[in-house]
Structure 1
Amino acid sequence: MNFSIYFKEFSYNIKLAYPVILGMLGHTLIGIVDNFMVGKLGSTELAAVSLGNSFIFIALSLGIGFSTAITPLVAEADAERDDQKIRTTFHHGLLLCTVLGVALFILTVLSKQIMYLMQQPKEVADLAAPYIDWVAFSLIPVIIYQGYKQFADGLAKTKYSMYAILLANVVHIFFNYVLIYGIWIFPKLGILGAALGTVISRIMMVVFMHYLMKKNSVMKKYFKNFSFKEIRKSILKKIIDLGLPSAMQMLFEVTLFTAAIWLSGSLGKNSQAANQIALILASSTFMVAMGLSVTAMIRVSHTKGINDYKKLIVVARSIFLLAIILETLFAIIFVVFHQFLPHLFLNMNDPSELLDNSEIIIITSKLLLVAAIFQISDGIQVVVLGALRGLQDVKIPMYITFVSYWIIGFPISYYLGKYTELKAVGIWIGLLAGLTAAALFLYIRFARLTRRLVIQNEKE
């Protein structure tokens, strides 16, 4: 195989991907800051934030997954130089994201009672309940933000979401610090302070994004003359037909990881806290693959718009290769530092927490060894999924992800976690199995589909 044709694409892939990656890391940083600051309060508080965020992640996955429908439609219209189609997609997409944000807020608040049915420690669930109420409200601005972001990504303007999320993080860190610990004139609110910090920062994120994009000379024309009279059922249906399967794909993966949190919680609060620390670290490196997935979606959509399917395959494979290289590097870092990294999240100077924290570190260090391996599978499946979304192929991948995560991955997690001595490590082995199956089946789907498209194009 001649790798040089793929290496040539790396610089443009990285140019598109790095703002998305930094933006994604900004999202993750909000979770890291919550965990870092709350972790200083104690292991019960850390487990409560972990449990609360598991509900938020489920709703957020639906919102993010749904909003990804906007990017390939905008990118394809951009390749066709159809400004009216771009503007229409943006307005319809933003309306749908707003409605979805409100619906997910209501559903998340109503679903929090499930915690008490899931064998979670009562003291953890009692702390998590008010935290969920506040952070659920932040789903409205964050999903509206996704509408803006996916539109900008479709035009290959990936830096705007990076700027907005980085500014939001500055706001988040400030309000978290003063509201969790009660600094200056602010009350000491504990984990509720972390929730309020998240709400304030996500509202500001939408404000920043709107302002930055509306001031841009290329994009400001798409903001003019919004009217409900222009809303068409046919365009709403087109976005929903693409967005709903994409939302389900993301939901299947996130709920698998959420099930891992709940399974860990049923083993005790220390297993749950260890799971959360390992998940935050693995999620941070996963954001690099997510950035490359968005790059795949943008570039594949654009190349599809000009009907160059041979180039499309080269572009997609170059992104797959880049993801494998980077995720392998992260895997090595996890193996080398697996005993050091857990210390960053825990207060080892508190004698009352020393016994719990020591156990958390032992469990987390083992989980990071499993995470090192599934970095690569996770990276491959998400970039191939991005390429398939770029081709507007979403229904078959939806079925593939369901089978991989819930027919293959979850039963292994459940059995090894509940019925063997592997416990938390067994849960993560199940995650590895599901992600590896998804990576394999999705790549087979992409290879077959693109081969068929090249043959059809040559016949025409």
Structure 2
Amino acid sequence: MSTVMTYGAHARAVAVLGLPLVGGHLAQFAIGLTDTVMLGWYGVEALAAVTLAGSYFFVLFLLGAGFGWAVMPMVAAAAAEEDETSIRRASRMGLWLSILFSAGVMPLLWWSRPILLALGQAQEVAALASEYLRVAGWGMLPALLVMVLKSYLAALERTQIVLWIAVAAAVVNALTNYALIFGNWGAPELGIMGAAIASVTTQTVSLIAVIYYAVRELPEHSLFQRFWRPDWEMFNRVFRLGVPIGLTNLSEVSLFAASAVMMGWLGAVPLAAHGIALQLASATFMVHLGLSNAATIRAGNAFGRKDRAHLARGAKVVTAMSLAMSAVTILLFLTCAAPLISLFLEPGDPQRPEILAIGVGLLAMAALFQLVDGAQVIALGLLRGVQDTTVPMLMAALSYLVVGMPASYLLGFVYGFEGIGVWAGLVLGLAFAGVLLMTRFWGKVIERIGLPA
């Protein structure tokens, strides 16, 4: 029997759970932001290369992250049922799958140059990006293991430690970047390679910290005892839930990666402007992503208890919170675009005026997709909480690959709107996904929870 919570109580619960997750995502985002800002100071070509390489890396990372995302609702549901054994089993097999995935994609990271050239990138930018990926690629394994362990801790509502580990990682990354990109504090000046080394260092430090916490503070789960022993039944469950999540992630990130490729066709300056605008849009998206994680955990708890009233009311609250955040960021992007973009550029850079002009237009388009981007990620969080991932995967593929990507190409190149057109395609794809996924949750999934609302 469920205890009826008021909307205010739901909002407070989401805030307590979600704000540390938002902070953790923002701190994690700061790692990429630091790379962008410091390499923007170092040179436009380096910024263009890391924009391209980052998109390539995250296509693979977010595909593999599906297993970490799958652990979150599974652990949340098991915690609601007080099933300690299932918590351990799901988390451990999430780690197994992440290790196997990392080994499988390493060749794509090591030999990325011919792939980037086949995608039509300039020789110089592709060469720099591939050098970056040969080093940064070694961070794939620790990054995915951190994703699984953070999902495990967040599902148990240990969100404060998730926040502080992410903050510590951001500090380590900033200091290492500052030393190795520019050659400060007696370190060699390595430019883009310094950013790659800093990325791997940061992911490794994060992994050590999160393992230490899990072993020390949650010994009852014994995550790493007899870690080598297979658990094929749970392995298959995590795999079946995680693969659709990974493919959903892949669909969305492929849309954004394709936009980076298309902007690269327009030249290094438009690609650099795209990288800056995308960093700013991504910063605000981290808030929605944190709320989505909170939605997954609370929906997973409600799903474990078969509590439809709690699920429905909580879903309304977290959606309203996301909409409020969208309103704030729309205003910010429309009124403060130039000062925000200027943060990423050297005052004396001769290409600064052109990057600013392009970036302001792109940020106006980013304002347009704030509402729909928030809606689609909140809907995904709710659907994952109730372990519904296959149909959302198909909806995402339709929205991003069939609607968004062709629209970006048509508007950008066939109709000649260039960068603005490419970003207009992003808006259309995200809007399509937002409508389909919200309709899926409210029209289909919530009806399957057994108790009356």
1:428 aligns to what? 423
Distance 1:415 1:7 in 2: 45
1:292 aligns to what? 291
Distance 1:166 1:59 in 2: 24
> Cα offset for 1:437?
0.6
Q: Is the 8 A contact 1:66 1:244 kept in 2?
A: yes
Distance 1:205 1:35 in 2: 20
The match for 1:395 among 390, 409, 412 is 390
Cα pair distance change 1:225/1:367, threshold 3 Å:
closer
State the one-letter code of the partner of 2:23: L
Answer yes or no: is 1:378 the counterpart of 2:373. Answer: yes
Distance 2:316 2:445 in 1: 11
Q: Is the 8 A contact 1:101 1:144 kept in 2?
A: no
> Cα offset for 1:105?
2.8
> Cα offset for 1:229?
6.5
Q: What per-residue deviation string (whole Å, max 9, x for no partner) do you get for residues 48-104 of structure 1?
A: 111111111111111222311101111111000111111111222222222222323
2:306 aligns to what? 307
> Cα offset for 1:453?
1.9
Q: Name structure 2 gaps, 5 residues minimum.
A: none
2:177 aligns to what? 176
Over the residues paired in the alignment, what is the CA RMSD in angstroms?
1.6
Distance 2:227 2:216 in 1: 23
Secondary structure in structure 1 of the residue aligned to 2:369:
helix
Deviates more, 1:207-216 or 1:427-436: 207-216
Q: How does 1:263-274 map to 2 (within 5 A)?
A: 263-274=262-273
Q: Is the 8 A contact 2:89 2:231 kept in 1?
A: no
Q: What per-residue deviation string (whole Å, max 9, x for no partner) do you get for residues 288-321 of structure 1?
A: 0000110010000001111111221111111111
Q: Is the 8 A contact 1:160 1:213 kept in 2?
A: no
> Cα offset for 1:108?
2.4
State the one-letter code of the partner of 2:441: F
Q: Is the 8 A contact 1:323 1:379 kept in 2?
A: yes
Cα pair distance change 1:417/1:211, threshold 3 Å:
same
- Percent of aligned positions that are identical: 33
Aligned length: 449
Distance 2:237 2:52 in 1: 35
Q: How does 1:35-434 map to 2 (within 5 A)?
A: 35-216=36-217, 219-223=218-222, 226-228=225-227, 230-349=229-348, 353-354=349-350, 356-434=351-429
Distance 1:37 1:458 in 2: 54
> Cα offset for 1:225?
6.0
Cα pair distance change 1:81/1:451, threshold 3 Å:
closer
> Cα offset for 1:37?
0.8
State the one-letter code of the partner of 2:339: F
Cα pair distance change 1:414/1:336, threshold 3 Å:
same
Q: Is the 8 A contact 1:381 1:440 kept in 2?
A: yes
Q: What per-residue deviation string (whole Å, max 9, x for no partner) do you get for residues 262-289 of structure 1?
A: 0000011111001100000000000000
Q: Is the 8 A contact 2:75 2:87 kept in 1?
A: yes
Distance 2:243 2:88 in 1: 21
Distance 1:143 1:339 in 2: 35
Q: Is the 8 A contact 2:67 2:148 kept in 1?
A: no
Distance 1:446 1:200 in 2: 40
> Cα offset for 1:185?
2.8
Answer yes or no: is 1:443 the counterpart of 2:432. Answer: no
State the one-letter code of the partner of 2:428: A
Distance 1:182 1:294 in 2: 38
Q: Is the 8 A contact 1:105 1:140 kept in 2?
A: no
TM-score by length of 2: 0.96
> Cα offset for 1:162?
1.3
Deviates more, 1:189-198 or 1:176-185: 176-185
Distance 2:429 2:322 in 1: 19
Q: Name structure 1 gaps, 5 residues minimum.
A: none
